């Protein structure tokens, strides 16, 4: 480490210590507090929880203010230890590892061409940068299924490597799962470690997350575009880490300047799932960006969310119902591999029929993160804008 870098790190830690000297961080337990302790009306907390549970697919919600839980509720049969699966919320977690690697000198810049790390990008994809991947503007081929078909392959990375260019990079936002899968391979080449190992060592364990699954495909590739299993409280720890500028109880985990750059508006996105206008930056969604407030969120299929209001140190996580008896963390398709040709929607329907009639057994014949029909959202999407405004309303007078 050179003198300049050492001085920079010292300044970051010094000012972080000053800023966070009296700030609470959870340990193995998590302190709770009354909303009134922070000048918040209990009715506003109840409103958020009620909006979430209008949707019967909700497993649970956790609301945090200044590091302490001020609201928490779970559906019958679930509790604070129950796991959900992140789906695409995981994109935000693996993206943060790029910032850590830049800080460590393993990656030079977000604006490095991907081909500097992956030799198979030294073709028509040669102008695509790491920033393009993280901002979902790579210009890679973008089919209607957004490459969800990759999820049903034995080797997801091999699938991603075969995706070519469709348009110039940096010109258009397109939510492409291949971009995130490639991020995992960049991390492997830059650090010599798989992205799941890095996530555990560099982010999860330092903030006290110990009970988790980080999914791999059948070929052993990390599914960096989806699929981290943990409790709602632990998803919220990650949200708190971002709310606290990457700092956690005496240590800078993610560089603050990377989080500052993440929490900007880069792309205005097409409407997805609701008419609420959203934006995008470095694998995070922007759900509110106006004079009243700025709220960012991780987002996963079927309505998995962690919302972060960094200005007011508020975190709100909602996760849908998930099989608590899921086995392993390495995908195995077994007999379902023969149904990939049906397409994403039909393959899911076929799998559910086979599972419901006990023709195949999840955890034996098939091992994969899966959300069944009771975990699919409906009302929560309808209430999405109300939820975002409810979060913002917590900090109003």
Tens-place pLDDT, residues 35-45: 999 999 999 99
* Lowest-confidence pick of 111-120, 148-157, 233-242, 246-255: 148-157
Average model confidence (pLDDT) across the chain: 91
Q: How many whole angstroms separate alpha carbon 389 and alpha carbon 291?
A: 13
**Cβ-based neighbour number of residue 312 at 10 Å:** 19
The pLDDT assigned to 16 comes to 46
The pLDDT assigned to 10 comes to 55
pLDDT higher than 70, residue 21? no
The pLDDT assigned to 95 comes to 98
Could you tell me the pTM of the whole model?
Answer: 0.92
The pLDDT assigned to 106 comes to 98
Quick one: average pLDDT of 323-331?
87
Give tens-digit pLDDT for 97-142.
Answer: 999 999 999 999 999 999 999 999 999 999 999 999 999 999 999 9
Identify the residue with better confidence: 354 or 388.
388
Give tens-digit pLDDT for 281-308.
Answer: 999 999 999 988 899 999 999 999 999 9
In the β-sheet with 284-290, what is the strand arrangement from edge to edge? Answer: 68-74, 58-65, 314-320, 304-309, 293-300, 284-290, 279-281, 267-268
CATH numeric code, 3-332+367-393: 3.40.710.10
Q: Is the dihedral of CA 346, 347, 348, 349 positive or negative?
A: positive
The pLDDT assigned to 52 comes to 97
């Amino acid at each position: 480490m050179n003198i300049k870098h050492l001085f920079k790190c010292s300044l970051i830690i010094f000012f972080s210590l000053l800023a966070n000297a009296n700030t609470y961080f959870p340990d193995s337990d998590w302190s709770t507090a009354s909303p009134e302790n922070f000048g918040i009306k209990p009715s506003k907390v109840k409103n958020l929880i009620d909006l979430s549970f209008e949707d019967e697919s909700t497993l649970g919600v956790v609301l945090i203010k200044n590091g302490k839980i001020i609201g928490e509720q779970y559906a019958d049969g679930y509790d604070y230890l129950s796991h959900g699966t992140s789906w695409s919320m995981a994109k935000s977690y693996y993206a943060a590892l790029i910032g850590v690697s830049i800080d460590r000198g393993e990656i030079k810049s977000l604006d490095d061409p991907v081909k500097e790390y992956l030799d198979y990008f030294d073709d028509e994809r040669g102008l695509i940068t790491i920033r393009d991947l993280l901002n979902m503007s790579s210009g890679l081929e973008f089919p209607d299924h957004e490459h969800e078909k990759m999820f049903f392959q034995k080797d997801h990375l091999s699938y991603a490597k075969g995706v070519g260019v469709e348009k110039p990079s940096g010109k258009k936002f397109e939510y492409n799962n291949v971009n995130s899968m490639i991020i995992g391979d960049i991390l492997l080449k830059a650090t010599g470690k798989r992205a799941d190992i890095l996530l555990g060592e560099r982010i999860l364990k330092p903030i006290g997350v110990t009970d988790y699954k980080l999914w791999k495909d059948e070929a052993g590739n990390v599914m960096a575009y989806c699929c981290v299993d943990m409790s709602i409280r632990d998803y919220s720890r990650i949200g708190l880490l971002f709310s606290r500028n990457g700092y956690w109880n005496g240590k800078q985990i993610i560089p603050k300047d990377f989080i500052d750059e993440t929490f900007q508006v880069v792309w205005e996105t097409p409407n997805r799932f609701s008419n609420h206008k959203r934006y995008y930056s470095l694998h995070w969604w922007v759900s509110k960006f106006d004079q009243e407030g700025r709220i960012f969120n991780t987002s996963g299929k079927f309505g998995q969310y962690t919302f972060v209001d960094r200005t007011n140190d508020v975190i709100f996580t909602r996760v849908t119902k998930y099989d608590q008896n899921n086995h392993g963390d390495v995908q195995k398709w077994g007999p379902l591999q023969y149904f990939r040709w049906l397409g994403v929607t039909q393959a899911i329907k076929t799998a559910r029929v086979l599972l419901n009639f006990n023709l195949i057994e999840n955890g034996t014949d098939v091992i994969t993160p899966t959300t069944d029909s009771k975990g699919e959202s409906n009302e929560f999407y309808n209430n999405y804008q109300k939820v975002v405004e409810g979060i913002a309303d917590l900090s109003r007078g």
